[in-house]
Structure 1
Amino acid sequence: MARGVYIHIPFCHQICNYCDFNKVYFKNQPVDEYIEAVGKEIEMAVRKTPEQFQDIETIFLGGGTPTALSAQQITRLLHLINTLLPTKQLVEFSSEANPDELSADKLEALIQGGVNRLSMGVQSFDQELLKKIGRTHSNEHVFDTIKLAKKVGFDNISIDLMYGLPGQSMEQWEDTLEKALELNLPHYSAYSLIVEPKTIFYIQYAKGKLNLPTEDLEADMYDLLMRRMEEKEKKQYEISNFAIDGHISTHNKIYWDNDEYAGFGAGAHGYILGNRYSNHGPIKKYIESINNNKLPIVHKHEVTIEEKYEEQMFLGLRKTQGVLFSEFKTKFGVSMDELYGKEITKLVSDNLLIRDEKGVRLSRQGRFVGNEIFQQFLLGE
């Protein structure tokens, strides 16, 4: 049964140099037709398996950039969502946003449509770095938009930050953290840059023209992040996420709990009834499929029991609480030690995992090499 719903809005007014998500420039796109197609997809999916959507806890509007839409388009999208999905019991309804696109009328449209959490892509408070990564907002946009969002009624606001950016110094990162924490928001996310294929940065990297920080400097940036967040009482509850009590991202926790969720929209991914699936990415193909009364799924994979074990471990270990023995046994009918006893013992002896009576979790040292640790839980390796 789906705990959450993800809805993809693939339109952007500006393409960021690091982004590998399914997206297109807003201009000359069939935006209104796309919104109606998303509504039709939701309607078809709910009609097919209504029981899957009875108890959804969260909805997340991602992209692309949902706030690239006009206020009227946002209103229409949210009307469709609220009409077609049971939203009255939601604990969280999030939307990604760009600081330079959140006008008062868009904020009003979001909050009137039930959105109660904003996730803003800030990335850096250094203007030169922002230009390098293809962002168009200014620091003033961030400060003014947060003030406006609070005035409209949003009190659950998160910002995304990035480190390990081309040419980024420790001083620049420290300044960004200082300015971010001065905002005293309830939630922060901070990610190291990953150079993904099919991005502008990947092309630059392949040509040897991307001046990235060293691994040691990136590790120092992550260490500073954890220390600064702890000093300001923003608890780390996942490798890249920090929050005050009561403000963890419920939607993202669904992913890390390895629970099921539905994905709607062009290029969206979902995990329903033990199957991971993805939709057509090209907008034209997506809309054509919907207009032909067909769900736009282009790829479906039935997750094997071995893959479920693996995912439970490497997704769960992203959380600060780690993976609990009782939850693992209840979910799979087999103990964690039966499957991974040897690997756990070795990682504990290397001071990369901590084991107690409840379960296993990454040590502070282990957070720096999470991906290497996660590979130890691939049963086929």
Structure 2
Amino acid sequence: MSNATTSSFPSFRDVVEEARASFRALPISTLEKLGILQSIENYYLIGTYPPLKAMGSVEPMEFLPKATEMCSVYLHIPFCEQRCSFCHFAKEILPPEQRVERYMRALHRELESTGELAGHPTAQTVYFGGGTPSYLSPRQISEVFAKLRESVRITGETETTFELHPSVIDAADYGDRLDAIAESGVNRWVFGVQSMEDRILDKLNRGHSAADVYKLLSMLADRGIDNLSVDLIYGLPYQNPENWYASIRTLVESGVEKFNIFPLMFKQADPISMHYRKSPDIFPGNEERLMMHFMTESIMKSIGFRRGPLFYYAKAEQHSRQQENKYDSIEDINLLPFGVSGFGYVGHTQFYNEATLDRYMAAVDSGRPPVWRGSALDFEERMRRAVMFPLRSGGVNRAAYRERYGADPVERFATELAPFIDNGLLAVDAESLQVTDVGAPFADSIAISLASPAVVSRVHASNALITDLKNDPVDRYDFSPIARESFGAGVSPVGRLRATEEAG
């Protein structure tokens, strides 16, 4: 990692002025008419297509053997030391050690059996997520990597990513954990910071402080680790432009060269949704959220960082192959998940593993793949997916699309895309279809216009059956904004933004 000098970092005043100009250039009334100005509680990123709510029963033996020769591999470690208020992924807090061991045995068995079913593909990328993968002991870390290497082919070119959490920085064996991760071949490290303001971290129940982040950065630097990404979230309680700017600047000047920067997203089962309904005034509004997005864009451009995919920034030419594969090339490099709640795309089928530990372990113990729900995509749905996802990354390559699908994406989906092209949210040239800087904050809302009527209908049917937003697993693990139910407690995005537009 290389440290940025204070003189090379843009001033807060310059960043805010540029962000304000970008915000004032937004066509707020047009965004409202197009239906892509989401209320705060209803905003979400696209994680899968079709979404979980549009899935049903599938037979894994029909699609797992069709995995591509090269895959992206995901492994889920669902254990944490604390419940972060915003986290909606599958997890258990401080489980008994015997439960951790039982889960790891099940994960090993799934690696062995599903790896064989999938033909022991070569892993172009491997990603350990959670939960908190660094919750595992050095022995457990070494063992799961050994089993992984028996199940898929790991080469010297495989990008292997492991998530860390600063909350375990004071564990007696944490140095040994870092060493075990490094010795297992990890060459990309990701850890959640979310903010460098202790007041915000306390409200999120993160279990770590800004000082712990510095300590972790130091421990990684001492080990010669320089390929790391840091997660930040904007839209958090007590956040404002000043402390958002300070968080980014502090980390850049500490040598961080890759960022994963996301807007806060709500699931009704998460504590932060209750916090928002009780005290919306402590959260940034839509104007402030958009300002923080444009501030991020201003800072990153000023210091020479590249954006791609959306919400990922890097000083290097490439942020990560793992993210680019997910959005740009999943048909050729399938996504193969292992562990509870993992979702994947194999053999033209989008699917989810069982979402609770007990159901996941029972499935593995019974000798069957732990697939919960899925949906096989026909040719038409694959055409739609191949526009939706690249819009969040490098854009849609028109020539490659025509070669694969026999149609031009701009012509094939002219009805859906024309309003966004005409209003400057999407840009088209002879080679590609891409979101513009104006359209970037709304890329997911633009993309879901490509969802088929059949998929939208299935989502509505699922919504009608959900009576408990806090406990229904279909709603909880549906990582998609498609036909998402509106929540009355949300604050309208329109009033304040329209007033700002008129004042500007």
**TM-score, length basis structure 1:** 0.94
Distance (whole Å) between structure 2 residues aligned to residue 112 and residue 201 of structure 1 = 37
Q: Which string of whole-angstrom CA distances, capped at 9 and with x for unpartnered residues, describes residues 290-321 of structure 1? A: 122111111121123332222222211111x3
1:206 deviates by: 4.1
- Residue of structure 2 equivalent to 1:346: 419
Q: Which string of whole-angstrom CA distances, capped at 9 and with x for unpartnered residues, describes residues 271-304 of structure 1? A: 1111111111221221222122111111121123
- Residue of structure 2 equivalent to 1:63: 130
Number of corresponding residues: 378
Gaps of 5+ in 2: 1-67, 457-504
- Residue of structure 1 equivalent to 2:305: 234
Q: Which string of whole-angstrom CA distances, capped at 9 and with x for unpartnered residues, describes residues 51-108 of structure 1? A: xx43320000000010111222212211211232211244310011102325221111
Relative to structure 1, the CA distance from residue 304 to residue 205 in structure 2 (aligned partners, 3 Å threshold; closer, same or farther) is: farther
Relative to structure 1, the CA distance from residue 187 to residue 215 in structure 2 (aligned partners, 3 Å threshold; closer, same or farther) is: same
Does residue 37 (structure 1) correspond to residue 106 (structure 2)? The answer is: yes
Relative to structure 1, the CA distance from residue 246 to residue 92 in structure 2 (aligned partners, 3 Å threshold; closer, same or farther) is: farther
Does residue 128 (structure 1) correspond to residue 199 (structure 2)? The answer is: yes
What RMSD over aligned residues (CA atoms) do the two structures have, in Å? Answer: 1.8
Relative to structure 1, the CA distance from residue 270 to residue 372 in structure 2 (aligned partners, 3 Å threshold; closer, same or farther) is: closer
- Residue of structure 2 equivalent to 1:25: 93
Q: Is the 8 A contact 1:258 1:315 kept in 2?
A: no
Does residue 94 (structure 1) correspond to residue 161 (structure 2)? The answer is: yes
- Residue of structure 1 equivalent to 2:151: 84
SS in 1 for 2:95: coil
Distance (whole Å) between structure 1 residues aligned to residue 376 and residue 317 of structure 2 = 34
Distance (whole Å) between structure 1 residues aligned to residue 168 and residue 251 of structure 2 = 19
State the AA in 1 paired with 2:101. D
Does residue 3 (structure 1) correspond to residue 71 (structure 2)? The answer is: yes
Distance (whole Å) between structure 2 residues aligned to residue 356 and residue 149 of structure 1 = 43
- Residue of structure 2 equivalent to 1:15: 83
State the AA in 2 paired with 1:75. S
Distance (whole Å) between structure 2 residues aligned to residue 360 and residue 196 of structure 1 = 31
1:246 deviates by: 4.3
1:338 deviates by: 3.2
Choose from 283, 296, 312 the match for 2:386. 312
How do 1:103-118 residues align onto structure 2 when only pairs under 5 Å count? 103-118=174-189
Q: Which string of whole-angstrom CA distances, capped at 9 and with x for unpartnered residues, describes residues 16-74 of structure 1? A: 10011011113315111211211110111122231xx4332000000001011122221
State the AA in 2 paired with 1:137. H
Distance (whole Å) between structure 2 residues aligned to residue 338 and residue 366 of structure 1 = 20
How do 1:1-381 residues align onto structure 2 when only pairs under 5 Å count? 1=68, 2-28=70-96, 30-50=99-119, 53-102=120-169, 103-207=174-278, 211-257=282-328, 259=330, 260-319=334-393, 321-380=394-453
Distance (whole Å) between structure 1 residues aligned to residue 79 and residue 163 of structure 2 = 12
Relative to structure 1, the CA distance from residue 90 to residue 264 in structure 2 (aligned partners, 3 Å threshold; closer, same or farther) is: farther
Distance (whole Å) between structure 2 residues aligned to residue 47 and residue 363 of structure 1 = 43
Distance (whole Å) between structure 2 residues aligned to residue 370 and residue 86 of structure 1 = 35
Distance (whole Å) between structure 2 residues aligned to residue 177 and residue 244 of structure 1 = 14
Distance (whole Å) between structure 2 residues aligned to residue 286 and residue 202 of structure 1 = 27
Q: Which string of whole-angstrom CA distances, capped at 9 and with x for unpartnered residues, describes residues 213-237 of structure 1? A: 1111111110000111111111111
SS in 1 for 2:351: strand
Q: Is the 8 A contact 2:142 2:181 kept in 1?
A: yes
Q: Is the 8 A contact 1:111 1:153 kept in 2?
A: no
Greater Rg over alpha carbons, structure = 2
Distance (whole Å) between structure 1 residues aligned to residue 434 and residue 428 of structure 2 = 7
Runs of 4 or more, structure 1, over 6 Å off, are none
Distance (whole Å) between structure 2 residues aligned to residue 170 and residue 237 of structure 1 = 23
- Residue of structure 1 equivalent to 2:28: none
Q: Is the 8 A contact 1:326 1:358 kept in 2?
A: yes
Distance (whole Å) between structure 2 residues aligned to residue 359 and residue 203 of structure 1 = 42
Distance (whole Å) between structure 2 residues aligned to residue 369 and residue 300 of structure 1 = 27
Distance (whole Å) between structure 1 residues aligned to residue 126 and residue 281 of structure 2 = 36
Relative to structure 1, the CA distance from residue 266 to residue 379 in structure 2 (aligned partners, 3 Å threshold; closer, same or farther) is: closer
Of the structure 1 ranges 20-29 and 269-278, higher mean CA displacement relative to structure 2 is found in: 20-29
Distance (whole Å) between structure 2 residues aligned to residue 202 and residue 330 of structure 1 = 45
Distance (whole Å) between structure 1 residues aligned to residue 293 and residue 303 of structure 2 = 16
1:180 deviates by: 1.7
Distance (whole Å) between structure 2 residues aligned to residue 341 and residue 256 of structure 1 = 21
1:150 deviates by: 2.4
Distance (whole Å) between structure 1 residues aligned to residue 383 and residue 281 of structure 2 = 37
Q: Which string of whole-angstrom CA distances, capped at 9 and with x for unpartnered residues, describes residues 321-342 of structure 1? A: 3111022122322221331234
Relative to structure 1, the CA distance from residue 172 to residue 267 in structure 2 (aligned partners, 3 Å threshold; closer, same or farther) is: same
Q: Which string of whole-angstrom CA distances, capped at 9 and with x for unpartnered residues, describes residues 186-226 of structure 1? A: 31111110111210112333445673211111111100001
Which structure: greater strand fraction?
A: 1
Of the structure 1 ranges 264-273 and 244-253, higher mean CA displacement relative to structure 2 is found in: 244-253
1:161 deviates by: 0.4
SS in 1 for 2:126: strand
